[in-house]
């Protein structure tokens, strides 16, 4: 129930628009994952269906113990749903009814948690009273007081049992779960612009139609994908330091020492993301049009375009995999490690003057081989002149701004990766997720070559700032000795 409540709430109008805003404003996603909106949408949709599939597997196991023969066929009914988009038992309900159902489930979750807490307290009180009564030197007044507490706690537990799942039938609970799964499946399809439509319209759906709008008009609007409009030019606080960068994120490397010259202004706007700017995200329905509306699941009476959309959603659900491409960090199973490297770099960039030899060694030992090779290649041309180099204050400030600018859009992906992983660890896998972090908001799907280039860029800048701070410190010490 907790997982289904979380999944439904994550698909609410408010959360969907919030997610849309976060995705469209994320420079890291555009630079490291993809500028293709359709690809990003596919990743999000697939992960949501994958999460629903995992919950459906649990309900399948529970349903096999139901007395109701219809509920015991949940597995077959769900299979028909994902293959053909057919809700043969009419388990899907309107958004309005589902919101009411969610509130009821939230109450059950809270009451059940309280019930088991009180039951533990009750057990402790019973043992306490039993020990007091068996003690020959017991205090009568104390026994009476604890007996009163025990009686009051027993009444409290009975009351909680009456209003909790404890007093509900097994079939009643499984029906709630089954209905929620079917409705969430429909909601995912609706959010992503794929709606199953029946010519037969439920009364609840008719009541949800706005005044003056015909039924045919409502059906037409409910199956139409909407466009939120162009995203426009997305400004980045920092982009790749192209003058000092080679590889996929910048221009060819120049033979210019990084100890002199100019670093591009990290606060300048990045160039237009052409595909995103022209197309916009197409999978976010206008919240003012979808509130409280739904249509029963079925493929009858659906036009060819919508039927193809249904097939697409069903195909995604039949194989709800979120396998990353081999060129991504997830594909090489290094997403969590790179996230930790970025977070360590974030801390060091914040206080470069406090970096000691141990911290530098620890960071170096964390670096993957590709990053080490890239760093050596970048620093090799300047290694001979490091001893005689005069560090420039202005250039040091520019490097600091550039690194902070990169971390401004890179760090959120790394922190989201840690959050996503911690919620799915063995210790927390059965607990309710507290955030709405999706894999697309992490470094999981990030291109390995691109993110390694960014890490090398940060290391080159950090190396300069660290050496500059040491020179300043040594100069101060020398002045003090004079």
Is residue 345 located within the same domain as residue 439?
yes
Is residue 358 located within the same domain as residue 462?
yes
Is residue 40 located within the same domain as residue 87?
yes
Is residue 112 located within the same domain as residue 58?
yes
**Of 297 and 169, which is predicted with more confidence?**
169
**Of 12 and 393, which is predicted with more confidence?**
12
The string of pLDDT tens digits covering residues 257-295 is 443 333 333 333 333 333 333 333 444 444 333 334 444
- Boundary residue ending a domain (190, 222, 254): 222
Is residue 339 located within the same domain as residue 468?
yes
Domain span at residue 260?
A: 243-269+323-481
Is residue 48 located within the same domain as residue 92?
yes
Residue 304 covered by a domain: no
| Number of domains, the chain | 2
The string of pLDDT tens digits covering residues 209-224 is 333 333 233 323 333 3
Global model pTM greater than 0.85: no
Residue 217 covered by a domain: yes
The string of pLDDT tens digits covering residues 246-260 is 333 333 333 334 433
Is residue 98 located within the same domain as residue 152?
yes
Residue 305 covered by a domain: no
- Boundary residue ending a domain (193, 222, 251): 222
Given a cut of 60, whether residue 34 has pLDDT beyond it is yes
> What's the rounded Cα separation, in Å, for the pair 228 and 216?
23
Residue 317 covered by a domain: no
The string of pLDDT tens digits covering residues 93-113 is 999 999 999 999 999 999 999
Across the range 55-73, mean pLDDT stands at 94
Distances (CA, A) of 170 to 72, 234, 244, 292: 11, 52, 65, 29
- Boundary residue ending a domain (166, 191, 222): 222
With 0-12 / 13-18 / 19 or more C-beta atoms within 10 angstroms meaning exposed / middle / buried, residue 342 is buried
Residue 110 covered by a domain: yes
pLDDT of residue 475: 54
Residue 181 covered by a domain: yes
Is residue 123 located within the same domain as residue 248?
no
Q: E-strand spans in 321-453?
A: none
Q: Residue 221 in contact with residue 427, Cβ under 8 Å?
A: no
């Amino acid at each position: 129930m907790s997982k289904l409540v979380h999944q439904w709430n994550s698909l609410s109008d408010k959360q969907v628009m919030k997610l849309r805003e976060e995705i469209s404003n994320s420079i890291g996603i555009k630079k490291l994952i993809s500028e293709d909106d359709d690809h990003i949408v596919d990743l999000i949709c697939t992960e949501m269906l994958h999460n629903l599939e995992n919950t459906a597997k649990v309900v399948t196991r529970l349903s096999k113990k139901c007395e109701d023969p219809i509920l015991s066929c949940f597995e077959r009914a769900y299979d028909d749903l994902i293959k053909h988009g057919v809700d043969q038992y009419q388990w899907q309900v309107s958004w309005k009814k589902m919101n009411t159902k969610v509130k009821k489930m939230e109450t059950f979750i809270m009451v059940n948690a309280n019930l088991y807490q009180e039951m533990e307290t009750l057990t402790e009180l019973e043992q306490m009273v039993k020990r007091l009564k068996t003690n020959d030197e017991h205090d009568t007044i104390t026994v009476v007081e604890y007996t009163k507490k025990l009686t009051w706690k027993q009444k409290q537990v009975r009351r909680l049992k009456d209003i909790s799942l404890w007093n509900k039938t097994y079939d009643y609970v499984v029906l709630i779960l089954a209905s929620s799964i079917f409705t969430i499946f429909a909601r995912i399809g609706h959010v992503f612009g794929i709606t199953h439509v029946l010519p037969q319209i439920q009364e609840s759906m008719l009541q949800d139609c706005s005044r003056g709008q015909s039924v045919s008009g409502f059906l037409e609007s409910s199956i139409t994908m909407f466009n939120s409009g162009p995203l426009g030019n997305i400004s980045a606080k920092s982009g790749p330091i192209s003058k000092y960068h080679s590889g996929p994120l910048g221009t060819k490397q120049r033979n210019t020492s990084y100890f002199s010259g100019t670093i591009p202004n990290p606060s300048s706007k990045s160039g237009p993301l052409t595909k995103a700017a022209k197309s916009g995200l197409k999978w976010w329905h206008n919240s003012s049009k979808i509130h409280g509306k739904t249509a029963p699941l079925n493929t009858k009476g659906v036009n060819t375009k919508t039927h193809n959309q249904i097939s697409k959603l069903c195909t995604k659900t039949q194989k709800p995999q979120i396998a990353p491409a081999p060129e991504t960090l997830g594909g090489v199973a290094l997403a969590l490690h790179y996230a930790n490297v970025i977070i360590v770099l974030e801390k060091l960039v914040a206080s470069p003057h406090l970096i000691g030899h141990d911290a530098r060694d620890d960071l170096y030992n964390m670096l993957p081989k590709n990053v080490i090779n890239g760093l050596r290649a970048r620093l090799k041309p300047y290694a001979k002149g490091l001893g005689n180099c005069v560090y420039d204050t202005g250039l040091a400030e520019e490097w600091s701004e550039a690194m902070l600018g990169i971390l401004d859009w890179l760090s959120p992906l790394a922190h989201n990766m840690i959050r996503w992983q911690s919620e799915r660890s063995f210790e927390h896998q059965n607990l309710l997720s507290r955030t709405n972090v999706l894999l697309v908001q992490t470094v999981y799907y990030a291109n390995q070559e691109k993110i390694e280039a960014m890490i090398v860029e940060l290391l080159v800048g950090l190396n300069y700032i660290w050496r500059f701070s040491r020179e300043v410190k040594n100069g101060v010490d020398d002045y003090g000795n004079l």
